[in-house]
């Protein structure tokens, strides 16, 4: 028993990553300008937009930033509420951001099947009335996978179709949506077509050291980009990598007679 406990305590989660030599090599080989491609997207953003079959995407520092930006972008006018699984990362582990950043009420629901939200759960708890005493649901928030559990494509489709008929947005915390796709639950494009927005993480299962991406339609990403700026989320990742690469090569660069300024 003690041995088992020790073993489980020692199992690493996917939250921490160590860069592999191949990742570091990729940083060194990356092209170093900050040029933007079509539609004001970087090549990485363009690539993810194509992978997901959506119009646009926006690089963000973390999964938390992607989720919270999505809420802030969708939620424009109080009163407003977000309906979600009561075990969601956004509720339990994002420092109350839905309340502080978006000023929205959270409507937590424990799935009646104990596993994932169904359309029946949503219909039971969603607030659609315009009654002045109520706080209407403006966003249905799904998480896939949630603690390793896959939300099936078919159930996602049922919820999404219902939400669209009611004018309610669907955001997915897809930090580990890649895992659901890799497990054969459906294609990335099939899932992403059902969300108004989705956050995908390059960390966790994919193992990169930093970064997440928010995906959605053009107007949504345009507004999210504006809000990203307002919370200091605009940075120059390629310059950052350039600096790191330069510092690796550094000594010979900075100690020689050719004392060029450190790259910005
Ligand atoms: C499901 C889920 N969503 C979002 C996040 C937040 O990601 P980050 O740590 O990059 O902010 C995590 C982090 O573990 C997570 O597990």
Q: Confidence band (pLDDT; 50, 70, 90) for 215?
A: very high
Kindly report the protein residue whose alpha carbon is nearest to atom 8 of ligand 1: 63
Give kind and range of the element (H or E) at residue 173: strand 169-174
Domain 58-242 grouped into CATH 1.10.3720.10:
no
Ligand 1 mutation pick, 12, 93, 144, 150, max ligand atoms within 8 A of CB: 93
Please tell me which residue, 102 or 12, carries the higher pLDDT value: 102
How do the domains of the chain map onto residue ranges?
58-242
Q: Is the confidence at residue 235, as pLDDT, over 80?
A: no
Q: Is the confidence at residue 220, as pLDDT, over 90?
A: yes
Residues in the chain: 264
Runs of H (alpha helix) within 75-152: 89-92, 97-102, 119-125
Ligand 1 mutation pick, 204, 206, 208, 209, max ligand atoms within 8 A of CB: 204
Q: Is the confidence at residue 6, as pLDDT, over 90?
A: no
Q: CA torsion, points 127, 128, 131, 132, in degrees to nearest 10?
A: 60
Mean pLDDT, range 9-24, rounded to an integer? 72
- Give this prediction's pTM: 0.86
pLDDT in tens, 27-67: 777 766 555 565 678 888 999 999 999 999 999 999 999 99
pLDDT in tens, 60-96: 999 999 999 999 999 999 999 999 999 999 999 999 9
Query: d(Cα 73, Cα 40) in Å, to the nearest integer?
Result: 18
Which pair of tokens denotes residue 221?
Answer: 């990403």
Under 8 Å between Cβ of 71 and 98: yes
Q: Is the confidence at residue 104, as pLDDT, over 70?
A: yes
**Cα 191 to the center of its chain, rounded Å:** 14
Q: Is the confidence at residue 248, as pLDDT, over 60?
A: no
Query: d(Cα 262, Cα 218) in Å, to the nearest integer?
Result: 36
204 Cα: distance to centroid of ligand 1 (angstroms): 8
Please tell me which residue, 23 or 141, carries the higher pLDDT value: 141
Query: d(Cα 89, Cα 95) in Å, to the nearest integer?
Result: 10
8 Cα: distance to centroid of ligand 1 (angstroms): 21
């Amino acid at each position: 028993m003690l041995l088992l406990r020790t073993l489980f305590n020692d199992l690493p989660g996917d939250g921490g990553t160590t860069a592999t030599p191949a990742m570091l090599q990729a940083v060194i080989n990356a092209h170093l300008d900050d040029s933007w491609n079509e539609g004001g997207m970087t090549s990485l953003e363009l690539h993810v937009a194509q992978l997901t079959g959506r119009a646009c995407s926006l690089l963000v520092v973390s999964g938390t930033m992607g989720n919270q930006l999505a809420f802030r972008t969708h939620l424009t006018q109080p009163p407003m509420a977000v309906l979600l699984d009561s075990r969601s990362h956004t509720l339990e582990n994002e420092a109350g951001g839905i309340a502080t950043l978006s000023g929205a009420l959270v409507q937590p629901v424990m799935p009646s099947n104990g596993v994932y939200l169904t359309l029946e759960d949503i219909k039971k708890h969603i607030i659609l009335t315009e009654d002045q005493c109520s706080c209407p649901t403006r966003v249905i928030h799904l998480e896939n996978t949630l603690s390793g559990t896959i939300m099936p494509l078919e159930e996602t489709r049922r919820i999404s179709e219902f939400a669209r008929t009611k004018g309610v947005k669907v955001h997915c915390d897809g930090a580990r949506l890649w895992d659901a796709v890799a497990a054969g639950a459906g294609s990335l494009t099939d899932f992403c077509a059902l969300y108004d927005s989705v956050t995908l993480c390059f960390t966790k299962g994919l193992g990169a050291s930093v970064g997440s991406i928010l995906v959605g339609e053009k107007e949504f990403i345009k507004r999210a980009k504006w809000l990203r700026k307002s919370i200091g989320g605009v940075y120059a990742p390629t310059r950052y990598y350039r600096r790191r690469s330069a510092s690796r090569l550094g000594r010979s660069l900075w100690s020689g007679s050719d004392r060029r300024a450190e790259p910005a």
